[in-house]
C-alpha cells in the first residue's frame, strides 16, 4: 500500500498514520518527525529547517524533496509506505509523482482527513499544552493553518483529478476514524 495522508495540522494524521502503518505493516514516513529529529540532533538539515518550522512556514522544496527522495530509497519501503506531511504543495506532489514513476510504483491512494476549523484549533491548543511543540503557539498555529489553506489544500484537487482521493471525517473517536480509513482503503487495489 503506497499511501499519502493529507489534512490540516491537528487533524490527527500522525496518530492515524501509526495505526494504519501497523495495520498494513508498512513504514510511517512523517516529514515533520524527520525534521524534528534532525533539529534535536543538531544536523545541517535541522538547522536549514528550523527558522521555517518556528514560523509555521514550509521548509523550502529543494530541502524537503531531496530528503523524501532519499527516504524512499530505503529498503523498508519495498512493500509500501504512508507519507504523512508530504506533499505539502502541488510542486511537491509533482516531484513525488515523478519519483514514483521512476520506481514504477505509483501512489494507490490519498487519504484526506477533514475537520472543521474550530475543532482543529481546539486540538492544536490542547496538543500545545501536552507536547510543548514550539510551533503549537497560537500565532504560529494561525500561520500553519493559513499555509495549509493556501499551499497544501490545492493538492486535494490535484489528487482528486488523479482519481486517488478518498475523504474520511477526522471527527470522532480515534478507533472509529481508523476503522473508516481501513474500510475506505480496502476498496483500493493493492
Ligand atoms: P508537521 O509535523 O507535519 O505538522 O510539520 C511540522 C513543520 O515541518 C511544518 O510546519 C513545516 O515547517 C515542516 N514541514 C513538514 N513537512 C513539510 C513539507 N512536506 N514541506 C515543507 N515543510 C514541511
51 among annotated binding-site residues: no
Query: pLDDT tens, 92-141?
Result: 999 999 999 999 999 999 999 999 988 998 888 888 888 877 787 888 88
Nearest residue to 166 (alpha-carbon basis) of 145, 147, 187: 187
Nearest residue to 174 (alpha-carbon basis) of 14, 16, 13: 16
Atom number in ligand 1 closest to CA 85: 3
Q: pTM for this one? A: 0.94
What is the band of 8 on the pLDDT scale with cuts at 50, 70, 90? very high
CA of 32 to the centre of ligand 1 (A): 5
Give the mutation target among 9, 56, 57, 85 for probing the ligand 1 site: most ligand atoms within 8 A of CB: 85
Topology of the domain covering 2-30+80-186:
Rossmann fold (3.40.50)
Mean pLDDT of 151-168: 97
CA of 57 to the centre of ligand 1 (A): 8
What is the band of 174 on the pLDDT scale with cuts at 50, 70, 90? very high
What is the band of 189 on the pLDDT scale with cuts at 50, 70, 90? low
Q: What's the confidence (pLDDT) of residue 14? A: 94
Beta strands in 14-144 (DSSP E): 28-30, 81-84, 109-114
Catalytic, 144? Answer yes
Q: How many CB atoms lie within 10 A of CB 150?
A: 10
Query: pLDDT tens, 30-63?
Result: 999 999 999 999 999 999 999 999 999 999 999 9
CA of 20 to the centre of ligand 1 (A): 20
87 among annotated binding-site residues: yes
Q: For residue 11, give Cα distances in angstroms to 82, 163, 179.
A: 16, 22, 16
Domain-by-domain residue ranges, the chain? 2-30+80-186
Cell (9 digits) for 114:
477533514
Amino acid at each position: 500500500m503506497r499511501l499519502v495522508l493529507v489534512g490540516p495540522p491537528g487533524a490527527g494524521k500522525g496518530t492515524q498514520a501509526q495505526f494504519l502503518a501497523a495495520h498494513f505493516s508498512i513504514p510511517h514516513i512523517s516529514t515533520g518527525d524527520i525534521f524534528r529529529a534532525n533539529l534535536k540532533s543538531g544536523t545541517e538539515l535541522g538547522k536549514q529547517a528550523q527558522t521555517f518550522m518556528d514560523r509555521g512556514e514550509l521548509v523550502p522544496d529543494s530541502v524537503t524533496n531531496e530528503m523524501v527522495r532519499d527516504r524512499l530509497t530505503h529498503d523498508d519501503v519495498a512493500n509500501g509506505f504512508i507519507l504523512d506531511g508530504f506533499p505539502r504543495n502541488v510542486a511537491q506532489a509533482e516531484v513525488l509523482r515523478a519519483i514514483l514513476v521512476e520506481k514504477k510504483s505509483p501512489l494507490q491512494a490519498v487519504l484526506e482527513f477533514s475537520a472543521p476549523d474550530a475543532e482543529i484549533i481546539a486540538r492544536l491548543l490542547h496538543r500545545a499544552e501536552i507536547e510543548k511543540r514550539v510551533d503549537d503557539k497560537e500565532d504560529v498555529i494561525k500561520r500553519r493553518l493559513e499555509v495549509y489553506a493556501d499551499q497544501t489544500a490545492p493538492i486535494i484537487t490535484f489528487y482528486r483529478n488523479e482519481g486517488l482521493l478518498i475523504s474520511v471525517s477526522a471527527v470522532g473517536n480515534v478507533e472509529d476514524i481508523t476503522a473508516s480509513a481501513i474500510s475506505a482503503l480496502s476498496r483500493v487495489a493493492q
